[in-house]
Amino acid sequence: MEKGKVRILIAKVGLDGHDRGAKYIAQALRDKGYEVIYTGIRQTPEDVVKAAIQEDVQFVGLSLLSGAHNQLFPKVAQLLKEKGAEDIVVFGGGVIPADDIPFLKSQGIKEIFPPGTTIDEVVDFIEKTLKDAAH
C-alpha cells in the first residue's frame, strides 16, 4: 500500500494536556509520507472513534501520560468494535508501565510504544501490520 494512502489518526485521550510527544509522532509520520490527522488534546474515547471512522483511517495512535491508559485505551478499542470498525488498528504510547502492556494488548491494543521509541520503530510496526493484513 502506498504510504500516502495510509491514514493515521493520532489522539490524546482523557484529561492529559501534554501533547509534545503526540505532535512529534504526528509530524514525523507525515514526514515519512503518511496522511496523519491529529485530533488535539482532551479527547474522549467516543470523539476518537467518531473521528477515526469519519476520516477512514487504518490506524489510531493514542497518547497518554496521565495514568488512565488501562481505562481509556481499551474503551477506544471496545467502541471501534461496537461500531463495526475493529479493522482499525489501535496502538498507544506514553508513560505506560511495562506491567500494564500485556493487559492493554489483551484488550485490543496492538502495540505500545514507551518513551524513547524511535519513529523508525513506529514505521516498522505500521509497515509490518499492513503487510500482515495484505496476506
Q: What is the pLDDT of residues 17-64, one digit of tens each?
A: 788 889 999 999 999 999 999 998 999 999 999 999 999 999 999 999
Nearest to 49 by CA among 88, 23, 22, 14: 88
Ranges of each domain in the chain? 3-134
Domain 3-134's class?
alpha beta
- What mean pLDDT is reported for the chain? 93
Q: What is the pLDDT of residue 2?
A: 56
> What pLDDT does 66 receive?
83
The pLDDT of residue 67 is 86
Q: Considering only CA atoms, which of 119, 118, 101 is closest in space to residue 110?
A: 101
Q: Is the pLDDT of residue 3 over 80?
A: no
For residue 20, the model assigns a pLDDT of 86
The neighbour count for residue 41, using CB atoms within 10 Å, is 17
**Coil, strand or helix: which one is 34?**
coil
> Quick one: how far is CA 60 from the chain centroid?
3
pLDDT band at 135 (very low <50, low <70, confident <90, very high): confident
CB of 80 closer than 8 Å to CB of 52: yes
pLDDT greater than 70 at residue 1 = no
User: What pLDDT score was predicted for residue 18?
Assistant: 80
